[in-house]
Amino acid sequence: MPTTIAHAVALLNQAAPLHLAEDWDNVGLLLGDPGERLRGILVCLTLTADVAEEAIARGDNLIVTHHPLPFRPLDRITTETHTGTLLWKLARAGVAIYSAHTAFDSASNGANDHLASALGLTDVAVLDPAATSSAGGTGRIGCAAATLGELAERARVSLRATSVRATESAARPAGRVAVACGSGGSLLEMALAVGCDTLVTGEASFHDCLKAQSAGVAVLLIGHFASERSSLDGLAERLAAEIGVPVTASQIERDPLQPV
């Protein structure tokens, strides 16, 4: 019996149960026919025009993208918009789209667990104090016998972070560390509630950084791309081990923000 897109969807739902996704998110199979025979899977952080061409050139007919496309509801799909152009091209090529996004962020062995591991945190637990499920939850918190500067270096080496910024001195002990991949400034209150000393995230607003400083919490910003991208290499490996078609993490996507 041929492997179908539905088989891949089932495996992805096991790796990142969709009930873990935030209410505002758009997750699951977003484009395509679940009954279609699966030829290959391309895993990426963001579905750009270049990534779409990469999948089509490889002959893959499922793109697993961390950031959903579409994300917001659409009232039309035409080539007059960037999103419409991508969706139209992929639909015509018979390429399906799946996103787990915040479900994968929160899943056991998902993006936040990967981030905590890459930073060398110990005694890691779910950040959300209301979370009771062993299957995952929002953010992570753990301990680091390291300074902010040492955490920054771990991010550069393990996550290929090209631009790391901090609100405090590199010599400051990191202590109890909360991590939130992507745009994690909104989790500051949650981190404060569990007594963290440091918040490590991809990006946070200027005002969130000021608020953290006033509360005595250090913020380490490692870049949105770096905080999430390498966890998708692991997801691609997990899918490849469980499904009988080629699975590859994108070889061409790069952080759109580069140091100058």
66 is in an annotated binding site: yes
Specify the amino acid at residue 139. Answer: G
CB burial class (10 A; 0-12, 13-18, 19+) of residue 5?
buried
228 is in an annotated binding site: yes
- Residue 109: CB partners within 8 Å, gap ≥ 6? 15, 234
Strand order in the sheet with 198-203: 122-126, 140-147, 173-183, 198-203, 218-221, 165-166
114 is in an annotated binding site: no
168 is in an annotated binding site: no
Strands 198-203, 62-67: pairing kind: unpaired
Tell which residue, 227, 253, 245, 5, has the closest CA to residue 112. Answer: 227
207 is in an annotated binding site: no
Q: What is the DSSP letter of 37?
A: B
Q: Which residues are annotated as a binding site for a divalent metal cation?
A: 66-67, 105, 224, 228
Q: Which residues are annotated as a binding site?
A: 66-67, 105, 224, 228
